[in-house]
Amino acid sequence: MFVFFSTCTVYLVLFGSTQADENSCGLSMTWLETVSVTMDVSKNGFHRDLVTTVDFGPGFPDGLEALLVHRLPSGIYIDQYQLASLKEDTGLQVLLGSAVDLEAPAHTSEEFLVLVYPALDQGILKATLPIHGRYHKPSLAGKRFELVEIKLPKLILRTDTCTQLISFPPYKIVDAPCTVHNLSICQWLEIQHLQEQDPVSLEIPLGDGSLVEPVCAGTLLVTLLCCVILSRSIWMHGVFLDNVILI
């Protein structure tokens, strides 16, 4: 009897002490502090890959779902049709916050939201998002490249086993689609201590606005020259025959 009682007490003490450290969703404070997000841009030119990696310590909770909330600048765009094709090929799961105009230049476009559901790849969560640079307004000051900055995404987490997230300060609770199929909204935990990394940036080449006069003059001169040469050739070798007005 006494053994049972003491066992119960020990068990209660142990259970009680972890109560403050873990909420009912299996996400422990200590484990959450090991989570970090890194972002990198690979490739060159107008077509790049945005690689986001979520690192964490041991003790990966069962049924953990992660969601990266990217707020992408107007200087780049994402091709939703390319995403649809990649979804079939590589399983990339992405939800676009709004329709993206594939052809508009940067100064007529806006920031947009992208939700990426990273996949587990050899013990880390990773997602590779193909992004494309937009054409920017030509520079007047001789600047040859425009720096487009991409801020770190927000990371939000939840577990499958969870139906109701209890408030778990300092982490905020946010609502977001449960899966990429966007059929229902779930509650997620926002991990906020990650904002230490500097934003990544990529360079987009710019036209040189200071050359507008020589370019216009040069273009019109060459096209006029070609027009004159062709006209002369047509005039000399043309079979005008029935066109009385010119003969």
Partner 1 sequence: MASIMERVLSKLMNKNVLFTVSFLVRLVLVSFGVYQDRTMVVKYTDVDYHVFTDASKFITQGQSPYHRSTYRYTPLLAWILTPNVYLSHVFGKLLFITCDVLSGHLIYLILRQRGLSCKAACRVCSLWLLNPLPAGVSSRGNAESVLTALVLATLLCLELRQIPMAAILYGLAVHMKIYPVTYALPIALSLQRKENVEERGVGWWRRALGFPLRLLNKELFLFAGVAGVVFCGLTVLFYNMYGWDFLQETYLYHLTRRDIRHNFSPYFYMLYLTADSPWSLALGLAAFLPQALLLFLVSLAFHTDLAFCCFLHTAIFVSFNKVCTSQYFLWYLCLFPLVLPRLTLSPKQGVELLALWFAGQGIWLAPAYYLEFEGYNTFLLIWLAGLMFLIINSFIMVQIITHYKPPDTTQRLKAE
- 147 is a site residue for partner 1 (CB under 8 A): no
In angstroms, the CA 129 to CA 121 distance is 15
Tokens 């001789």, residue?
Answer: 142
Q: Please provide the DSSP assignment of 30-66 as one string.
A: HHHHT-EEEEEEES-TTEEEEEEEEE--S-PPTTEEE
Of positions 1, 20, 99, 183, contacts partner 1 by CB under 8 A: 99
How many Å is the Cα radius of gyration of the chain?
29
Compare residues 12 and 211 and give the one whose CB is closer to partner 1. Answer: 211
Residues 6+ apart with CB under 8 A from 230: none
HEC letters along 162-191: CCCCCCECCEEEEEEECCCCCCCEEEEEEE
Least gap, CB of 49 to partner 1 (angstroms):
12
Nearer to partner 1, 3 or 245 (CB): 245
Q: Is 89 in the site for partner 1 (CB under 8 A)?
A: yes
Beta bridge pairs of residue 50 = 41, 129
Q: Which of 14, 113, 120, 230 binds partner 1 (CB under 8 A)?
A: 230
Pick between residue 26 and residue 130 the one whose CB is nearest to partner 1: 130
Strand partners, 159: 64
Stretch that binds partner 1, among 21-29, 155-163, 166-174, 207-215 (CB under 8 A): 207-215
Give the residue with the Cβ less far from partner 1, 43 or 193. 43
Give min distance, CB of 75 to partner 1, in A: 13
Q: Does 222 bind partner 1 (CB under 8 A)?
A: yes
- Which residue, 8 or 220, is less far from partner 1 as judged by CB? 220
